[in-house]
Amino acid sequence: MNAIAAGAPLKILTVNIDRFQHLFVARPGINSPKDMKGKKVAVSRYGAFSDIETRFLIRQWGMDPDRDVQVLQIGNSAARSAALMSGGIDGAVVTPAFVPVARNAGLNVIFDLSTIKTRFANIGLMAQEKLIREQPRLVKAAVAGLVHGIKFWKTNPEAFVKFVREHQQPSFLEYGEYPFFTADEIKKALRIKSAVSEMLDQLQ
């Protein structure tokens, strides 16, 4: 998004995920958002998505991120996780994959950001304008493959879980809250696919 805002020749084709996905994890003794007042919170770097997301969340909790907590630049999710387990910080936004490790280390998941109703373009598919002009069939195929993959994921959860267990880290499955898409989301994705096809036809 920053690249597009800066003038990069890119087009957004789909927005696959339009909500927050992370969780806020805190050290032992911190059991709720109100306990974070006056504490140290880690982000990757100032101005990065983790920083924007964390400051938004703190405001949702009724606090001022510039006055009520101390925001520190620590690094990526792995670095923030390590800082949490060492006691160097009090809380941080982390990916769902870290949840089993966090719980085993005695840390507390005090907030699931996916419960926030605010919608925004989190993860999507983009393409260069040149690629859209010169290889529209390839772009259409990529979008179609993505949409059909989502549909298969939703309609064949057992096959999906089997694949994840065999090829990916099992943390999501251990967490037990892997975000399956709803039927309405699939219908929306199919409508997007149709709209993208029309857009590409017009660009040819």
Mean pLDDT, rounded, for 151-158:
84
- Over residues 8-46, the pLDDT tens digits come to 898 988 888 788 888 999 999 999 999 999 999 999 999
| 116's tokens | 């926030």
For the cut 50, the answer to whether the pLDDT of residue 170 exceeds it is no
Tell which wins on pLDDT, 71 or 12.
71
105 or 202, higher pLDDT? 105
For CATH 3.40.190.10, the residue range(s) in the chain are 23-115
Cα 62 to the center of its chain, rounded Å: 23
CB 108 within 8 A of CB 31: yes
List the structure tokens of 65. Answer: 């991120």
Residue 197: per-residue pLDDT: 54
Greater model confidence, 152 or 202: 152
Range 23-115 has CATH code 3.90.580.10: no
Distance linking the first and last C-alpha atoms of the chain: 24
Quick one: which of 16, 19, 63, 20 has its CA closest to 39? 63
pLDDT above 80: residue 5: no
Question: Mind listing the pLDDT tens digit for each residue in 81-93?
Answer: 888 888 899 999 9
**What's the whole-number average pLDDT of the chain?**
81
